[in-house]
Amino acid sequence: MDIRGSCDDRFASVGEAFGDNFHADREPAEVGASVAVTIEGELVVDLWAGTVTGDDGTDRPWDRDTIINVWSTTKTVSALACLILADQRELDFYSPVARYWPEFRVADKGGVEVRHVMSHTAGLPSWSEPITLEVLYDWEQATAMLAAQEPWWEPGTASGYHAVTQGYLEGELVRRITGQSMGEFVAAEITGPLGADFHIGTAAEHDARVAHVIAPSRALSADDAEPGSIVERAVRSLRLDANAANTIPWRRAEIPAAGGFGNARSVAMIHAPMANGGAANGVRLLSPSGADPVFDEQIYAQDLILPTKVRHGIGFGLPSAETPISPNERTCFWGGWGGSLALVDLDARMTFAYVMNKMGEGTVGDLRAASILATLYDTLAS
């Protein structure tokens, strides 16, 4: 396997673990991928390998500037946008959503707080009426429908993964406060200053270097769910085929919980300031305490949709017995459908990101990123 990029000698074993993912006996064996690590804001690992397919249907090598839809890893970037506004005292996580979005107050949602939206406990895991992809591409319609519907459970009492809706809820908060869409705000306040190649709403100028995802062999299904259950309602309300990410309408739309396009380098760079007291590479995004709200635990319980117990802070997942993703307490993370991952370790002043084109099965990732991350932590401990 021809692995390209750069890797500090100390982290050679991380590069080897990355290469191991491409072995034919792995399941799933990698096709194309990138991995990146920053420490103290510096890129110490920036590797890519394998092949991708573009819009023209031909295969080509995964290159330095290849970008791809990272699914729910996008949530970490949108959460950072909200952290920035909170740090600027423009957004209060413990205030009602309706303080910023008055139309949201109806249908028993006056008690839904911003923190509930950011911890998947708002009771709005999907749309109450079945919708099509065209609704996702219409910001006004998608957000108006969420503002009008009732919560599916008492907000704050349980988590039920807001796979797509979280981004519309957070994005409308950003729009109401700043007048900018989530994509515009992220470009102006995060990716632009950092020089990070990540996009929520990807312009045509980037099409030539976009890689297509390789969809799982099994589509998301609610066939085994109890009729009328939360998980059955959530899956049936939006029939999402992973191949949608390979289309131009998906690419152009702003889908802040699932539609970001980037690579491991850009994801790791975006979160480097969080890991380093709010600043990295001469760019300050947060005050020294600006990331602290992330570690305010909101829920630690069996999720109503995901097949696992989850521990959520504000905007990120936190390590737990069920997900022992880091030995360090002040670590936060989230991953994307199919296997991508973003991790921020404030104790180690480190970020880690993994992005790939071949999606694994299921909704909670697989061991490709985890095996590299374990090697990384072993290296840091040695």
Can you give the pLDDT of all 382 residues of the chain as single tens digits?
799 999 999 999 999 999 999 997 777 789 999 999 999 999 999 999 999 999 999 999 999 999 999 999 999 999 999 999 999 999 999 999 999 999 999 999 999 999 999 999 999 999 999 999 999 999 999 999 999 999 999 999 999 999 999 999 999 999 999 999 999 999 999 999 999 999 999 999 999 999 999 999 877 666 677 888 999 999 899 989 999 999 999 999 999 999 999 999 999 999 999 999 999 999 999 999 999 999 999 999 999 999 999 999 999 999 999 999 999 999 999 999 999 999 999 999 999 999 999 999 876 667 899 999 999 999 999 8
List of residues 6+ apart from 114 with CB closer than 8 A: 82, 91, 92, 93, 94, 95, 96, 97, 100, 173
Q: Report d(CA 299, CA 287) in Å as an integer.
A: 26
Classify domain 4-381 by CATH number. 3.40.710.10
pLDDT in tens, 64-85: 999 999 999 999 999 999 999 9
Is the Cα torsion angle 353, 273, 261, 127 positive or negative in sign? Answer: positive
Q: Tell me what pLDDT residue 28 has.
A: 79
Give the other-Cβ count within 10 Å of 268's Cβ: 30
Query: Which contiguous run of DSSP H or E holds residue 43?
Result: strand 42-53
Where exactly are the structural domains of the chain?
4-381
Entry pTM: 0.97
List of residues 6+ apart from 194 with CB closer than 8 A: 269, 270, 272, 273, 280, 281, 283, 285
List of residues 6+ apart from 8 with CB closer than 8 A: 44, 45
Query: Which contiguous run of DSSP H or E holds residue 249?
Result: helix 248-252
Q: Tell me what pLDDT residue 223 has.
A: 67
Q: Are 15 and 27 in contact (CB under 8 A)?
A: no
Q: Which residues pair with 317 in a beta bridge?
A: 312, 333
The DSSP bridge pattern shows strands 210-211 and 299-302 to be unpaired
The DSSP bridge pattern shows strands 210-211 and 67-69 to be parallel
pLDDT in tens, 344-368: 999 999 999 999 999 998 766 678 9
Q: Are 274 and 80 in contact (CB under 8 A)?
A: yes
